[in-house]
Structure 1
Amino acid sequence: MNKDQQISNVKIKQVSLFVIILVLAALICFNLALFIPSVLGAITIYVVCRKYNFYLQEQKKWKPWLSSLVLMLASLIILILPIYFIGDLLIEKLGNAQAYMAKFNIFLEKIHSYIYSKTGFDILSKENMDKLKSSVGQFSTKALSGTFNTLTVIMSMYFILYFMLDKPRLFERILVSSAPLKRSNVSLIGEKMRKLIMANAIGIPVVALGQGIVALIGYFIFGSPSPVLLFALTAAASMVPVVGAAIVYIPVCIFMIAEGNTGAGLGLAAYCIVIVGLTDNLLRFTLLKKLENVHPLNTVFGIIMGMNIFGFMGLIFGPIMISFTLLLIQVYRNEFADEDVPPDLKLANEADEVENKLIY
Structure 2
Amino acid sequence: MNKDQQISSVKIKQVSLLAIILVLTALICFNLALFIPSVLGAITIYVVCRKYNFYLQEEKKWKPWASSLVLMLASLIILILPIYFIGDLLIDKLGNAQAYMTKFNVFLEKIHSYIYSKIGFDILSKENMVKLRSSVGQFSTKALSGTFNTLTVVLSMYFILYFMLEKPRLFEKILSSSAPLKRANVSLIGEKLRKLIMANAIGIPVVAMGQGLVALIGYFIFGAPSPVLLFALTAAASMVPVVGAAIVYIPVCIFMIAEGDTGHGLGLAAYCLIIVGLTDNLLRFTLLKKLEDIHPLNTVFGIIMGMSLFGFMGLIFGPILISFTLLLIQVYRNEFSDEDTPPDLHLPDKDDELEEKINLIV
Q: TM-score range by the shorter chain?
A: over 0.9
Give me the whole-angstrom Cα distance separating, in 1, the residues matched to 2:210 and 2:80. Answer: 16
Residue identity matched to 1:150: T
**Structure 1 unaligned blocks of 5 or more:** 352-360
Number of residue equivalences: 350
Give me the whole-angstrom Cα distance separating, in 1, the residues matched to 2:27 and 2:64. Answer: 33
2:358 corresponds to which residue? none
Shift of 1:23: 0.4
Shift of 1:333: 1.0
| 1:27 matched to 2:27 | yes
Shift of 1:296: 0.3
Question: Residues 279-304 of structure 1, C-alpha deviation per residue, up to 9 Å, x if partnerless?
Answer: 00000000000000000000001111
| 1:215 matched to 2:215 | yes
| 1:141 matched to 2:141 | yes
Give me the whole-angstrom Cα distance separating, in 1, the residues matched to 2:185 and 2:308. Answer: 31
- Give the TM-score, by structure 1 length: 0.95
Shift of 1:341: 2.8
Residue identity matched to 1:245: A
Give me the whole-angstrom Cα distance separating, in 2, the residues matched to 1:258 and 1:347. Answer: 55
**Structure 2 unaligned blocks of 5 or more:** 352-362
Give me the whole-angstrom Cα distance separating, in 2, the residues matched to 1:233 and 1:120. Answer: 30
Q: Note closer, same or farther for the CA distance 1:81–1:121 as it changes in structure 2 (3 Å cut).
A: same
Q: Note closer, same or farther for the CA distance 1:192–1:345 as it changes in structure 2 (3 Å cut).
A: closer
Give me the whole-angstrom Cα distance separating, in 2, the residues matched to 1:38 and 1:53. Answer: 20
2:179 corresponds to which residue? 179
Give me the whole-angstrom Cα distance separating, in 2, the residues matched to 1:235 and 1:345. Answer: 34
Q: Note closer, same or farther for the CA distance 1:99–1:275 as it changes in structure 2 (3 Å cut).
A: same
Give me the whole-angstrom Cα distance separating, in 2, the residues matched to 1:41 and 1:208. Answer: 19
| 1:225 matched to 2:225 | yes
Give me the whole-angstrom Cα distance separating, in 2, the residues matched to 1:347 and 1:10. Answer: 33
Give me the whole-angstrom Cα distance separating, in 2, the residues matched to 1:317 and 1:3. Answer: 49
1:98 corresponds to which residue? 98
1:290 corresponds to which residue? 290
**Structure 1 residue matching 2:124: 3-state secondary structure:** coil
Shift of 1:345: 7.0
**Structure 1 residue matching 2:299: 3-state secondary structure:** helix
Give me the whole-angstrom Cα distance separating, in 2, the residues matched to 1:165 and 1:232. Answer: 32
Give me the whole-angstrom Cα distance separating, in 1, the residues matched to 2:345 and 2:151. Answer: 44
- Give the TM-score, by structure 2 length: 0.95
| 1:279 matched to 2:292 | no
Give me the whole-angstrom Cα distance separating, in 2, the residues matched to 1:331 and 1:136. Answer: 38
2:360 corresponds to which residue? none
Give me the whole-angstrom Cα distance separating, in 1, the residues matched to 2:195 and 2:344. Answer: 21
1:150-299 superposed matches below 5 A: 150-299=150-299
| 1:320 matched to 2:299 | no
Q: Note closer, same or farther for the CA distance 1:219–1:346 as it changes in structure 2 (3 Å cut).
A: closer
Q: Name the Cα RMSD after superposition.
A: 1.5
Identity %: 89
Residue identity matched to 1:25: T
1:356 corresponds to which residue? none
Residue identity matched to 1:64: P
Residue identity matched to 1:191: E
Give me the whole-angstrom Cα distance separating, in 2, the residues matched to 1:338 and 1:47. Answer: 32
Give me the whole-angstrom Cα distance separating, in 2, the residues matched to 1:285 and 1:242. Answer: 14
Q: Note closer, same or farther for the CA distance 1:79–1:344 as it changes in structure 2 (3 Å cut).
A: closer
Q: Note closer, same or farther for the CA distance 1:11–1:90 as it changes in structure 2 (3 Å cut).
A: same
**Structure 2 residue matching 1:306: 3-state secondary structure:** helix
Question: Residues 25-73 of structure 1, C-alpha deviation per residue, up to 9 Å, x if partnerless?
Answer: 0000000000000000000000000000000000000000000000000
Mapped contact 2:142–2:311 kept (Cα < 8 A) = yes
Shift of 1:263: 0.2
Shift of 1:337: 1.3
**Structure 2 residue matching 1:98: 3-state secondary structure:** helix
Give me the whole-angstrom Cα distance separating, in 1, the residues matched to 2:279 and 2:119. Answer: 32
Shift of 1:159: 0.2
Shift of 1:338: 4.1
Shift of 1:340: 4.5
Q: Note closer, same or farther for the CA distance 1:128–1:77 as it changes in structure 2 (3 Å cut).
A: same
Question: Residues 122-168 of structure 1, C-alpha deviation per residue, up to 9 Å, x if partnerless?
Answer: 11111111111111111110010010000100000000000000000
**Structure 2 residue matching 1:339: 3-state secondary structure:** coil
Q: Note closer, same or farther for the CA distance 1:161–1:220 as it changes in structure 2 (3 Å cut).
A: same
